[in-house]
Chain A
Amino acid sequence: MLRATLKSLLARKLRLILSTLAVVLSVMFVSGSLVLTDTLGRTFDNVFSNIYSYTDVQVSAKSETADAASGNSSAILPVPASDVARIEKIDGVRKATGSVFVSGARVIGKNGKVVISQSGQFGGSWTGEDELTKLISGRAPSAPDEIVINNGLAKQAKFAVGDPVDIIARAEARKTYKVVGIMQYAGNRDSMAGETTVLFTEATAQQVMLGETDVFNVIDVKGKDGVTDNQLRDNIKAALGPKYTVQTGDELSKASSEAIRGLLKYFNYFFLGFGTIALLVGVFLILNTFSIIVSQRTQELALLRAMGASRWQIIRSVLIEALLIGTVGSLFGFLVGMGLGAAGASAFTSLAKMDSAGLGLPVAAIVTSFTIGILVTMISAVLPAIKAARVAPIAAMRDAATTDKPLTGITIGGGVVTAVGVGSLSWGLAGAGDATLLLVFGGVLLTLIGVALLAPLISRPLVAGLGSVFSWSVPGKLGRRNSSRNPRRTAITAGAVMVGIAIITMISTIFSSLSTAIGESVEKDLQADLIVYGQQTSDVPPIIQPDELKQIKALPQLQTVASVTYDVVSLNGKQDFVLAYDDVPAVITVLKLHPVAGRIDHIDSGEFTVDEKTAKERKYTVGSTIQVTFAKGQTKTLTLVGITNSTSNGNGVVVSNTDAQAGFTFPQPIQALVKAKDGVAVDDAKAAVEGVLKNNPEVSVQTKKELVGSSQQQFDVALVIVQVLLFIALGISVLGVINTLLLSVIERTRELGMLRAIGLRRRQTWSMVTIESVVITLFGTVLGLVVGAGLGAATVTALKSVIGFGAVTLPWGYMIAYIIGAVIVGAVAGLIPAIRAVRLNVLNAIAYE
């Protein structure tokens, strides 16, 4: 029995390759993303263990607003310099060194632009050479304008000792410094993870990075010999009290890499999402292939049955075939995925200028790849296997004419599954708390499967309709008839295409609705002609320097200039985002705000305003109070004085400028909304503002139209990325089309021979097969477009209450492109089968076996 299985497997090489390829492509995504995240994870682990390898214990101030998940906070809480002496007196401490080391030192390169680094732009105090850092040229900084930079920065921006360098520091406007030294880390590293680092003298660092004198942000503590890090930590903790964070080097390195791993997890989810889609499409393909295999082998199977093989043996033989295909497919899928993951990781590390930890063989990736690959293949083969077992021995004596089975069962099943799917989706979208994501995901999945089950029924009229386009020629007519010959097979092949297209269309629908909504709401709600802001590239937002703002306000071309700043605070114990305006009346004009309750025209210290929707959600009324702990540590009780209408731009809690200046990490304006005077051309106003900002490479001016364009562009870019990834899933479904057609061509060998014998030309044969392919692909695409647009529209409508947009914009451009693409892809998919059909030897075709 096993031998028979193996033989029949090898006898159908092409089929073997195609179905294996489906498994390979599906598994590839999964293993690729696991390998990628594993490699990156270990790379980051290495980085952090390097950074903290010489740290015994580190002391810093505890932040109230710190993000518990990431352990990061943009707020830097200083510790007074006097703490250093205090710590040195603690039992077990050999030495305590206070230092400044925070992000937000933006170096301006020789091209006038900020030197970009994804890993951070750090500024700190020079604490002398030690185990970790050493100067490779120049000397230590001694004057206020002298700096040491890391060799990575020196290489990246081509700075040498003696060069003047402009820096926008965290707490200081752009200023020119002089490079006096270049340093490296232990192990000849130019940087730890591709970051840029500028080290000032201690006093300058305190001034420009922390904005205060006689403070540090971390104190490094070295223990006496014989004192363990943990002991040391406990001693210091006990001595300093709860206002300090005291961590050992190990703890720090672990916390940092866990934070990164937390982020990588989302990265992983993203790719695994595509892997799931690919798998889903793969299931269709594998199921289809096995169904065809079984129906092709009907006589062979019947013969086996007639010779005494039991049903279970038949099932087993199909499942063994699936097991083999699954194993081989998983193996190759895993290998290809590993290659892709490694390529991705090396692209990432070289972009980020990090030392890659090298390719590992994560056990999780191996186990997951093989489990998923084999399981999915076997599960997909179960139905065909059962079908195979149902073959009656008598079928061996009959011509294996497959009679059209009624579609009632499958249609009812499809209807039920679709209904459950849509139900779950609408339940999820209506908001079901923690279960939302699961319900939405499950709903989309079930809907797709349900529609796929309904597809055989739909295929009859739809395929006839689509096909009639081609009916003007005889091959066209024949091709169309062929495609509706076996509704189940056509439907399942098209079903795979449908899943891919549906998901792409759904996402494009959501994106284009979002994009339009943003465009419209900016258009509607924003009275400003110009918006001044910068793209945030690190945890430090680009800042409009106060004197720049002053100069802008003084420009004669402008009527109103309102600046906005925001920060993360702890609001009633929860992290939240609050806004502050320097000029409330100006903002009210520009954002078209009006009072809904109370007064909104000014906000004093200890007061706040909020928009209507937020107020409703949180049940605030005028007079409500909230507890806000600002980034810099102080806690205040604020009273609600007024409620505004909700707009698309500035919703949420707005605190007074006074409180913001005292408590925000960056109280400087982050955004400015500008209205030109009547009669002043927008471009002239823009040029004037640009003149003021010419020394600030981070911040730029955009007109309202440009703002809409650039925010929509971001969606377009994201959409393109998503589409590219989904095209791989679509590729799998194209394999399905090729597979189905190839098998059809083989099945209809005799028919093709007869047609050629009675005068069908090669070219006509070609178009017949191609049209069948195009019709099947188009059917799947049209189905996918309808389902996808429906799912997308449902999502958009459901999100109306959450995000505040509800108008569905169908991505017509994309949808038409998908249809054109389907025709092309269909023709290409038909290529191999068509070649095969054309090459068919007429004689072999009509000779019967």
Chain B
Amino acid sequence: MYFPYFATYMAVGIALAIAAFVWALKNGQFTDQQRARFLPLEDDAGAGEVKRSRMGRLEILALGFLACAGLAASAAVLVFALVSF
């Protein structure tokens, strides 16, 4: 018999959710929703947005090689598949 365990588990889950909901309600979490919309904007972190890459020549070559090798490997596998199919 496993139903009682599942039923208990679900009941506990619902009870916890209701408890959290009631806490939120009493705590005024559902009030002042207009202000809540702006919350992420209040911390204005001045982030260094990147404008252009700062890669050196060698890095460009190495990464370009890696990317091309990946693309070439994919293409080779595809061609092989199509030819041998």
A binds B: no
- Residues of chain A touching chain B, judged by Cβ–Cβ distance below 8 Å, are none
Chain B residues within CB distance 8 Å of chain A: none
